[in-house]
Chains A and B, each alone.
Chain A
Amino acid sequence: MSETTNAIDAIAAPVSSPGEKFFPKFEVTPELVAKAQELVALYPEGKEQSAVLPIIHHIQEEFGYVCPEAMPWIAEMCKSTAIHVAGIVTFYPGIHRKCPGKFHFRVCRTIACALSGGEELLPYICSKMGVDPAEMTDEEPMVVSPDGLWSLEAVECLANCGFGPNVMVNDVLHSQVTRGKIDDIMAACKKELAAERKEAAAAKKEAAAARREARAAAAAEAAEATEPTAEEPVAKKTAAKKAPAKKAAPKKK
């Protein structure tokens, strides 16, 4: 918490992060409400509060993190209170109150990984990402690169102790990670991003073409009303979830 915000306001103070540009902004849509209701329905009647964590997970998947506006909404969905949800959000380190980068690196630093050099990877990854290792503290172990592409978090045990150091990148676990492997992973991430961007650009082009066509057709067909086509939310699509890694064996060869 910063010196100027009081400890209570800090609970719902927005924390800006460059990672936000890769995720859509939190917004309550009918789909989101439907999803929340579906999650609530998994639990016995009257136990709506159980769905707090599942809804939080869904929000993190969609929007990258749990922003302050989301907490009262979650409370409403789970028939709980905002302070209750805040108590949960601030408890679990797996719940982000600051948007991570597009590629979120979690480096295990607990004993077994530490014995195999996990902690030594941190400064290297920091320098690769262009972040200041001093920003990582025991209280706030996550840092985001200025371009929002990367984020790094020192975490405790990833439960793959025999094969350390372990690093999770988004949902994929990489084990026996070395500096070289970090280079490869980051290169692959960049490739993935480029591919996604290309895809998005193509989709955008396509959409623009379709729009042009539609407009031309509309202009040609009738002169009465030239209503603009509804804009395709392509931008959102690019930022949407990284494709779930298909074949990520828990343990790399």
Chain B
Amino acid sequence: MSEITYKPGKEPHPRETRRIFRNIDREGYDPSIKCFMKDGGYQTLKKCLKMEPADITNEVKKSGLRGRGGAGFPTGVKWTFIPKGNTKPVYLVCNCDESEPGTFKDRFIVHQDPHQLIEGMIIACYAVQAHYAVIYMREEFPEAARIMQNALQEAEEKNFLGKNIQGSGFDLKIVLHRGAGAYICGEETGLINSIEGVRPYPRIKPPFFPAAIGLYGCPTIVNNVESLCQVRQVMMMGGEAYAAEGAQRSPGTRIIGVSGDVKRPGVYEIISGSITYGELLYDICGGPRIGRKFKAIIPGGASAKVMRCDEILKDRNPDGTVREMTIFDVPMDLDSIAKFGSMSGSGGVIVMDDTRSMPKVLNNLNRFFAWESCGQCSPCREGNPWMYKLSTRICEGKGAPEDVDLLKSVADNICGRTVCAFGEACSWPTQAFTTKFREEFLALTKPINALKPHSAETAEARKFLTRED
């Protein structure tokens, strides 16, 4: 790939392996189909259209590809969940809602290389025999929506979409559907409801597993943008070759977005598990800003549990001995970090240095989650504003030490008790921040605050209960 040159200042880091991001910031590359095809685009699709759909699914299963939306579910396995003997239409939905704070990988694909996604989607649609697919794109990508719409048009003109694609007899229509600014639409069943034109409340599972009862009550496969591009990659390389590379349980490349307090934040495509968090942050991202020290890392998007950089993590070696390490020694694959209570999620790494106040960071997250809670189920609807009010009060110095425990307890009461994973997403940060940085929270509190009214109503009511001399 020596012939590829990138725009000045946008060159990939030597430790990167550009596959999905091969054409991102590439010199002379544009989103047109011409450019894409000149580079070998749609050849994989042509090959796939000659295969049996089930063979494609098998190939993807063989590759061990796991979804890149955050949950990391094996893509090929997901496809096989469509009920056997199904007679309803099958739908495929591409999740381009990219709403997890800290995650910003899909935006590059849909802005700069839309045909890569379209090709991946067509292959996936062919594999699951879907003739109607939807790209659900977040509202905040208006430019990408135009680019994508244009790309779909081009693909149709070249008969990669529409009727009898490339003479294969396979028909496919892809519709671009734009969201309107809701985090919850990244949850696959919320997203399906959003497409159906109802309030995007996530659905209860069971019975609404999308692969069985999804869009319009039909079997529906929801895959993330990167996952679908990886499908194309799998079919290009072959499942076995794909599986051979990177971490055993999460092979292939991963796109990591780094934001926050590092010298060179950005997006980097690496072979899964080939580097550690330390290598990512020090080697690729240039380490902390001058005169600062890394303090905490959120390893997988805003909802992942925060990790302290000075935390000693204990791992068991294959021989049974215990190995001590820090977050910097943890390899960047999908599972390693999970052992230490956090998750790698969608690959958004948010870094905080020693100048940051952790209660303030948490308060920012709490505001986000309180704002984004859809309000369908009680714990999340009522719990999130409560957590936000508590953390705000603590940040303002109006909290009592008990409030820190209360905050944690509220989070505990949400976690695991909601319809969708938002319950975990919103409570994990609070649980982790208040536990791991408890002293910082306590430092902001005063015992006397427990006796003070915290709302205008209470203050009003107290007037009649206390004597003011």
Asked whether any CB of A lies within 8 Å of a CB of B in the complex, the reply is yes
Q: Which residues from chain A sit less than 8 Å from chain B, CB to CB?
A: 42-44, 47-54, 56-57, 78, 80, 84, 87-88, 91-95, 106, 109-112, 114-116, 138, 155-164, 168, 171-173, 244-245, 248-251, 253
30 A-B pairs whose Cβ atoms sit less than 8 Å apart in the complex: A53-B194, A57-B178, A78-B197, A88-B198, A88-B199, A91-B182, A92-B180, A93-B181, A93-B182, A93-B371, A94-B140, A94-B179, A110-B101, A110-B364, A115-B259, A115-B261, A115-B350, A116-B260, A155-B140, A156-B101, A156-B181, A156-B183, A157-B368, A159-B98, A159-B104, A159-B141, A161-B348, A163-B265, A173-B143, A248-B143
Check B368 against A162 for contact (C-beta < 8 Å). Answer: no
Instruction: Point out the residues of chain B lying under 8 angstroms from A106, CB to CB.
Output: 140
Instruction: Point out the residues of chain A lying under 8 angstroms from B107, CB to CB.
Output: 159-160, 250
Check A253 against B267 for contact (C-beta < 8 Å). Answer: no
Q: B302 near A: Cβ within 8 Å?
A: yes
Instruction: Name the interface residues of B68-115: CB closer than 8 Å to any CB of A.
Output: 89, 98-104, 106-108, 111-112
A56-B180, A110-B368, A250-B143 given; A159·B103 CB < 8 A: yes
A162-B258, A163-B265 given; A111·B350 CB < 8 A: yes
Complex CA distance for A160 and B298, rounded to whole angstroms: 16
The residue of chain A having its C-beta at the shortest distance from the C-beta of B351 within the complex is A115
The residue of chain B having its C-beta at the shortest distance from the C-beta of A48 within the complex is B197
Complex CA distance for A54 and B460, rounded to whole angstroms: 47
Instruction: Point out the residues of chain A lying under 8 angstroms from B374, CB to CB.
Output: 91
Of all A-B residue pairs in the complex, the 9 with the closest CB atoms, nearest first, are A94-B181, A92-B180, A49-B197, A94-B180, A161-B259, A112-B259, A162-B265, A94-B139, A52-B197
Contacts A159-B138, A162-B257 known; list 5 others, CB within 8 Å: A44-B89, A84-B198, A91-B199, A111-B302, A159-B103
Check A92 against B182 for contact (C-beta < 8 Å). Answer: yes
Q: B167 near A: Cβ within 8 Å?
A: no
Instruction: Name the interface residues of B242-263: CB closer than 8 Å to any CB of A.
Output: 257-261
Among B101, B182, B195, chain A packs the most CB atoms within 10 A around the CB of: B101
Q: B239 near A: Cβ within 8 Å?
A: no
Check B102 against A161 for contact (C-beta < 8 Å). Answer: yes
| Residue interface bits B398-419, CB-to-A below 8 A is 1, else 0 | 0000000000000000000000
Q: B9 near A: Cβ within 8 Å?
A: yes
Check B352 against A115 for contact (C-beta < 8 Å). Answer: yes
How many Å from the CB of A203 to the closest CB on chain B?
A: 26
Check B177 against A54 for contact (C-beta < 8 Å). Answer: yes
Q: B146 near A: Cβ within 8 Å?
A: yes
Check B104 against A161 for contact (C-beta < 8 Å). Answer: yes
A52-B197, A159-B104, A171-B143 given; A114·B364 CB < 8 A: yes
Instruction: Point out the residues of chain B lying under 8 angstroms from A164, CB to CB.
Output: 259
Instruction: Point out the residues of chain A lying under 8 angstroms from B138, CB to CB.
Output: 159
Check B140 against A110 for contact (C-beta < 8 Å). Answer: no
Instruction: Point out the residues of chain B lying under 8 angstroms from A172, CB to CB.
Output: 143
How many Å from the CB of B314 to the closest CB on chain A?
A: 29
Check B139 against A157 for contact (C-beta < 8 Å). Answer: no
Instruction: Point out the residues of chain B lying under 8 angstroms from A250, CB to CB.
Output: 107-108, 111-112, 141, 143-144
| Residue interface bits B193-210, CB-to-A below 8 A is 1, else 0 | 011111110000000000
Check A160 against B198 for contact (C-beta < 8 Å). Answer: no
Instruction: Point out the residues of chain A lying under 8 angstroms from B339, CB to CB.
Output: none
Instruction: Name the interface residues of B156-195: CB closer than 8 Å to any CB of A.
Output: 175, 177-183, 194-195
Complex CA distance for A191 and B103, rounded to whole angstroms: 34
Check B198 against A244 for contact (C-beta < 8 Å). Answer: no
How many Å from the CB of B413 to the closest CB on chain A?
A: 22
Complex CA distance for A161 and B266, rounded to whole angstroms: 8
A50-B197, A56-B180 given; A162·B267 CB < 8 A: yes
Among B132, B197, B367, B370, chain A packs the most CB atoms within 10 A around the CB of: B197
Instruction: Point out the residues of chain B lying under 8 angstroms from A44, CB to CB.
Output: 89, 132, 216
How many Å from the CB of A160 to the closest CB on chain B?
A: 5
Q: B142 near A: Cβ within 8 Å?
A: yes
Check A51 against B197 for contact (C-beta < 8 Å). Answer: yes
How many Å from the CB of B360 to the closest CB on chain A?
A: 9
Q: B365 near A: Cβ within 8 Å?
A: yes
Complex CA distance for A138 and B98, rounded to whole angstroms: 23
Complex CA distance for A13 and B108, rounded to whole angstroms: 40
How many Å from the CB of B464 to the closest CB on chain A?
A: 24
Complex CA distance for A109 and B263, rounded to whole angstroms: 21
How many Å from the CB of A118 to the closest CB on chain B?
A: 10
Instruction: Point out the residues of chain B lying under 8 angstroms from A156, CB to CB.
Output: 101, 181, 183, 368, 371-372
Complex CA distance for A94 and B104, rounded to whole angstroms: 19
The residue of chain B having its C-beta at the shortest distance from the C-beta of A56 within the complex is B180
Instruction: Point out the residues of chain A lying under 8 angstroms from B9, CB to CB.
Output: 253
The residue of chain A having its C-beta at the shortest distance from the C-beta of B261 within the complex is A115
Partner of A162, one of B139, B182, B266, B371: B266
Instruction: Point out the residues of chain A lying under 8 angstroms from B257, CB to CB.
Output: 161-162
Check B140 against A159 for contact (C-beta < 8 Å). Answer: yes
